[in-house]
């Protein structure tokens, strides 16, 4: 697990923001990814919220090997295995089950399991996990949750996702137990639907600029 923790640490240090991406049109995959990469976001979480997610991962791994491509919204082991087979470099889940946590221990790539409570953290901690997704962050305390977790779970780090936006993202980055943040505020639906990739690039660049 130490190697997987180190992999997540390095990936998130490079990324700072992990964009949560839904692919609704297969033709969008490469221009979408290229626009985000040009804007500075080179680690992508392709969700399984649409039927095109796994095909998008396969295409990106083949055509854009320089990007870090993961799979999100993984809900069970069947989806987990399919993500690994598609070439995912990391997996993100919205929550945890014993079955998924065990799959993550056995998998060749790191899992960032979703948690919201101390009990969920402890369940995963027992199996060696030290990096987590806090989801939905805005519902379960956000920055205050990170501050509270820092006491009993001092060695752990978190990627809050859900409700992260330009108005609060700098507050998250002031927390020493932050891994990175996840979100899609730089990918507004109307801009993506219009295939305005220049605007996507600009919004990604602006999102990173807010952290400095």
Spatial neighbors of 100 by CB under 8 A, at least 6 apart, are 74, 76, 77, 80, 93, 111, 113
Active site residue 133: yes
Tell me which of 4, 45, 157, 201 is the catalytic residue: 45
- Would you give the end-to-end CA distance of the chain in angstroms? 32
User: Is the preceding peptide bond at 136 cis, omega within 30 degrees of 0?
Assistant: yes
User: CB–CB of 191/199 below 8 Å?
Assistant: yes
Give backbone dihedrals phi and psi of 200, rounded to 5 degrees, phi first.
-60, -45
Active site residue 99: no
The Cα–Cα gap between 88 and 157 comes to 22
Q: Which of 98, 120, 133, 170 is catalytic?
A: 133
What separation in angstroms does the CA of 103 have from each of 74, 84, 109?
Answer: 12, 11, 10
**Catalytic residue annotation:** 45, 133
């Amino acid at each position: 697990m130490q190697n997987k923790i180190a992999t997540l640490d390095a990936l998130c240090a490079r990324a700072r923001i992990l964009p949560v991406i839904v692919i609704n049109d297969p033709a969008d995959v490469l221009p979408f990814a290229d626009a985000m990469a040009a804007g500075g976001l080179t680690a992508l979480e392709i969700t399984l919220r649409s039927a095109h997610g796994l095909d998008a991962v396969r295409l990106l791994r083949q055509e854009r090997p320089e990007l870090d491509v993961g799979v999100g919204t993984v809900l069970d082991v069947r989806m987990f295995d399919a993500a690994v087979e598609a070439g995912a470099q990391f997996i993100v889940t919205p929550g945890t089950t014993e079955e998924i946590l065990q799959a993550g221990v056995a998998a060749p790539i790191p899992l960032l399991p979703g948690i919201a409570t101390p009990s969920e953290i402890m369940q995963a901690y027992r199996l060696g996990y030290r990096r987590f997704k806090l989801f939905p962050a805005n519902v379960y305390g956000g920055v205050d949750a990170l501050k509270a977790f820092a006491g009993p779970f001092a060695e752990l780090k978190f990627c809050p996702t859900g409700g992260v936006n330009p108005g609060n993202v700098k507050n998250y980055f002031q927390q020493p137990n932050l891994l990175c943040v996840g979100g899609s505020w730089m990918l507004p639906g109307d801009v993506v639907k219009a295939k305005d990739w220049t605007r996507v690039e600009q919004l990604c660049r602006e999102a990173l600029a807010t952290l400095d």
